[in-house]
Each structure stands twice: as C-alpha cells, then as structure tokens.
Amino acid sequence: MLMASACGTTRQPEEGRSGEDGPRRLAVLAPAAAEMVVELGAETQVVAVGDFVDWPPRLAELPRIGSYDAPNLERLLELEVDLLVTAHSAAGQAAHRRIEGVGIAVLELETETFEGVLRAFEELGEALGRGARGRAAADAVRERIAALQRRTAGLTPRRVLYVAGNRPLYGAGPGSHIDRLITAAGGINVLADAPGPYPLIALEAVLERRPEVIVDGSDNRPGARRGRQTGSWGHWDFLPAVTADRVWYVHPERLAVPGPRLPEMAELLARLIHPEIFGAPTDEELGPLREAGRGR
C-alpha cells in the first residue's frame, strides 16, 4: 500500500472549478501528497482523504473516499471537491478520467523518484496557489540532505539492502528516494544496478551481494518486528549484516512515504547504517508514526 504512494506522473488540474488563488476544496488520496499538502499550509482546504492516509493526524480523521484505483465519485461530488490530489496509479486511470469528466480536476504527483518528489512539491505548490512555498520546501529538503551528506563524506560506506516488500521480495533500486537517501547517509545501495526503483529481486542475488546493513521495511502489520534483531535474516548467518548485528526492522511509514520528512528519513538511515557514529534509534523511533505521538 505504501509503495503505491511513491509513483506517478503529473497531470495539471483543469481550469474552471478553482478560485483565483487555487482550488478551495481538496481530496487527497496518496499518503505522500497528504504530507505535502500539510507542509504547504493547505490542510484546512482538505475535506476528504484516501483510505491509506493515516498521517498527519490532522487529516487522518477526515471522511474517507476510497483507494487509488476506486475513489468514490459520489462522495467527491457530495463534498464539492474541486481538486483530487493523488499519486499516479495505472489501475486508477479509468476512475480518474470519470472524475475529470464531471469537472473535478485531478493532479497526479510523481513521487517514485527522489527528484520527482522535489518536482512534486513545486507542482503542488503551483496548483494550490502557493508556488513560492512549494519551491522553498523543495529547496529545504535539498539543503538538509546535502548537509547530512557532508557529515558522512569521510565515513567508510557500508553496503545496504532496503527491503520494500516480502513474499515476493522487493527492494529499493536506483532512482528511488531510498536509493538517494542511502547515499546521503553514508551507504552504498546493493541494488544500485537493478532495473528500476522498486525491483522484484531473487533472494540468491541478495545473498551474493552480502549486505553489511539490512533495513527491512516490508511489514506494516500490528505486532510486527521492530528494532535491531536478526529475525528471519538470521537464517543466513554468513551475511555481514547478521554477524555485525546490523539488521533493522522498521515500520514502512518511517521511510517509505516520500515528502517533507525526507531529511528525517536520511538522518534515520544514517543512524541505522552508522549507529556507532550517529547513535542507534530506539524501537519506538522505528515504529508507526501515530504511536510515537509525533505531530507536524
């Protein structure tokens, strides 16, 4: 579900339903888009959210309008929505066309890649009549991540595997925001030569690459493993990540939803990759955001 929030292309909203300064009533389907809307100060315009939007808290209690591929058109009309903000979903294209057909604009943000996230800030800012704020948010992300990279530049990089899905096994590959953050955090992505941002990978290929750090963000279920423990990866005790006790289980909300928290994600990865330098995170810091009581 969270991976679906990290992909897409941008379709500009149509004219005709918005006021002079931008749309008045927003519905936000994608978790990444929801965080961006709040960052841009437009949360009071949001009247509904998608089924998977659980953060930030100020949006999580709003009416629900369905999933990426099946937003509830009748509910959108009842709520007088004039702009639907989402991530691109191939499965949702037919539904998006129906929504546009009744005069509701659809803005699809491309957040699959790191650079796409930064462009999404700017595009969303323009759509909401907050272009300067969108550009400033993108610049702030760039600057803070660059500052972290300067801090990690002198460290010996460690080979890192980020697990995005299990059964089958998916990892974070080149172009993904995770790939860029691993580099900034003083790591080398063992899947840097994979064919896409979130490739399906064979376990044998992972074992051959002998990661020194494993960050497993594949499980969002209540009661799932959290923190530093070998877990199922302990079956392969020859892996450097296992022998050095650098296998981490992280709730996907912490790292998988790109947006204004990208710098926090990079800094968390630095603590996972180089805990002896930056300090190991607590289990609470690796759990669901809503359980940590964080507000934005």
CATH code of 162's domain? 3.40.50.1980
Query: pLDDT at residue 24 above 50?
Result: yes
- Residues 231-258: tens digit of each pLDDT: 999 999 999 999 999 999 999 999 999 9
169 & 247 share domain? yes
80 & 187 share domain? no
Confidence grade of residue 290 (pLDDT, cut at 50, 70, 90): confident
Percent of the chain with pLDDT over 70: 91
Q: What are phi and psi of 12, to 5 degrees?
A: -70, 145
| C-beta separation of 127 from 22 below 8 A | yes
Query: pLDDT at residue 263 above 50?
Result: yes
Domain extent for 42: 3-142
Confidence grade of residue 91 (pLDDT, cut at 50, 70, 90): confident
Q: How many domains does the chain have?
A: 2
- Residues 118-152: tens digit of each pLDDT: 999 999 999 999 999 999 999 999 999 999 999 99
- Written as one string, the DSSP assignment of 166-191 is TTTTEE--TTBHHHHHHHHTTEEETT
Q: Is residue 149 part of a domain?
A: no
Query: Residues near 281 by Cβ (< 8 Å), separated by ≥ 6?
Result: 268, 271, 272, 275
Q: Among residues 57, 62, 58, which one has the least CA distance to residue 29?
A: 62
Q: Is residue 39 part of a domain?
A: yes
275 & 170 share domain? yes
Domain boundary among 142, 168, 192: 142
| Per-residue pLDDT at 291 | 58
Confidence grade of residue 62 (pLDDT, cut at 50, 70, 90): very high
